Amino acid sequence: MKDINRISEITPVGFNRVEIRWHRGELDRILLFFALFILPIQSLVGIIVLLYVSYKGWQEKDKEFQGKEPIIGLFLMLTISLIISTALAEEKREAIIGLVHFLPLFWVFLGVRRLVNDCQYLWCVILPFVVNSPLIAIIGVGEIIFHWKTPLLFYKFFGWRLTGEGTPTGRAASVFPYANSLALYLVISGIFAIALLLKNWYKKKIITPDIILLIVTVILDLYCLVLTQSRNGWILFFIAIIAFSVYRGWGIVIYMTTTAGVLTTWASFGQLPGQQIVRKIIPDFLWLRFSDQLYQNRPLEELRVSQWWYCLELIKSRPLFGWGLRNFSLLYEEKTGHYLGHPHNFFLMMMAETGIISTIMLLIVSGLVIMGGFVYLLRGKREKRDTDTIFFGLLMAFLSCSIYNLFDVSVFDVRLNIIAWILLAAIAGITHNTPFYYLRLKLLGDKNNSTPPVNDRKRHDNMANCHFHPNTQHP
């Protein structure tokens, strides 16, 4: 692809000066940045721009994505399996609507990974979260602390509203329909802000305006995360801190966070000796929320255990292709007389609604991409950490989405669903389908290619090339 001679420079928050070559692919990446930036605020505009960007991604003539691509074959088989499940669904109309949460995102994934095919392009995925999360956090704080409200016209234009009390009452939701959704977004943006903070600090070793802004971003995200009262979000942020500490070898931080986790658990569960003393150390809002004493006497049907047991019953009765997408709510209401939007576990829901076959195929696709990401990091251990900390943050962000879905379901929030697929697409694009290449060698007997392509060897054996732009000049 030919570059136009005109070169411009941009200096986004958290990055060193990055030269942007204005060619067709770079404009598409700027549009991807805009789509992710506007998505939480005005989702319709973000979706339209993202669909256009995905279409342009399919037009990218990247030699590394030409030829046989096993990942496309896996997505094709997954699509066929979902269609079969829909055809056999109990309520076919609901199942057809449910396909919208998956099939378009497969297409978006395959298009975006062609645009974000190197670490130098990660700015268009990471910066949108870091830039707009302070605004989203401030809105959430204002909703709970200052009881901000928005008029009905605001809801019709933007698709979200502030109630002045949060959703549910007393829990910050900001631009999202529910507090847990906001919590996941704040965890993702917080991880990216920490990754950029570490990169800049280890590069410059001095306090700069960029570092100050990133510290403020992390503090705002963390404060608003506390106001969501989301146990899932708190645990994910705690795990992220431990992961960064292990990755950096910060022994003191590991000891401190582990001690805090043990004390919080001690104060929250069971009837342990000395528990009352520990509860005087741990803030009340923490141990009261973890022990579920803030919301007592909930109906049995609302407990996650009840929902999960019913999912297992559905899986036993139709193990292969399930009952159809979006059918859980109807079946659960018919069984218990209590309506629930989802069973608070994405993987159990997928097995109950689409069957074990579709769920395993989806896990294979995402699992191979994540495996390639960790291989990519491990092969770059000898390189400077300020270059791969960003990619590590990307892996942690997607894994946070995965862990979140063990106790909740994010697929029904279109913004969180899109974000998860974009994160996975970025990982797949940067790792260049390395695990799929070896899978083809083993399963399809491709004996003519016994070694990885030259480009793959370069990218995996020389992590020094993993900068945000090959022409980056550091002051």
Rounded to an integer, what distance in angstroms lies between the CA atom of residue 265 and that of residue 268? 5
Mean pLDDT calculated for residue range 105-126: 92
pLDDT confidence of 474, banded at 50, 70, 90? Answer: very low
Rounded to an integer, what distance in angstroms lies between the CA atom of residue 162 and that of residue 165? 8
Of the listed ranges 210-214, 222-226, 281-285, 459-463, the least confidently predicted one is 459-463
Query: From residue 67, how far is each of 62, 72, 305, 377, 445 by CA, in Å?
Result: 10, 11, 47, 26, 16
* Residue 14 in this model has a pLDDT that exceeds 80: no
Of the listed ranges 112-116, 201-205, 316-320, the least confidently predicted one is 201-205
Mean pLDDT calculated for residue range 349-355: 96
The answer to whether 367 and 375 are in contact (CB under 8 A) is: no
* Residue 3 in this model has a pLDDT that exceeds 50: no
pLDDT of residue 208: 85
Higher-confidence residue of 104 and 387: namely 104
Residue (of 294, 451, 426, 448) closest to 369 by Cα position: 426
Q: ∠ CA(189), CA(195), CA(198), 5° rounding? A: 140
Q: What is the pLDDT of residues 15-73, one digit of tens each?
A: 444 444 445 568 899 999 999 999 999 999 999 999 999 999 888 765 555 555 788 88
pLDDT of residue 329: 93
pLDDT of residue 440: 46
Rounded to an integer, what distance in angstroms lies between the CA atom of residue 136 and that of residue 174? 6
Average pLDDT score over the chain? 84
Domain ranges of the chain: 7-170+304-465
Q: What is the pLDDT of residues 400-444, one digit of tens each?
A: 999 999 999 999 999 999 999 999 999 999 987 455 545 444 544
What global pTM score does this model have?
0.87
Please report which helix (H) or strand (E) contains residue 8, including its range.
strand 7-10
Of the listed ranges 57-66, 189-198, 204-213, the least confidently predicted one is 57-66
Q: How many residues does the chain have?
A: 475
Mean pLDDT calculated for residue range 123-140: 96
Higher-confidence residue of 152 and 438: namely 152
State the sign of the Cα–Cα–Cα–Cα dihedral 110, 112, 114, 117.
negative
Residue (of 373, 129, 396) closest to 238 by Cα position: 396
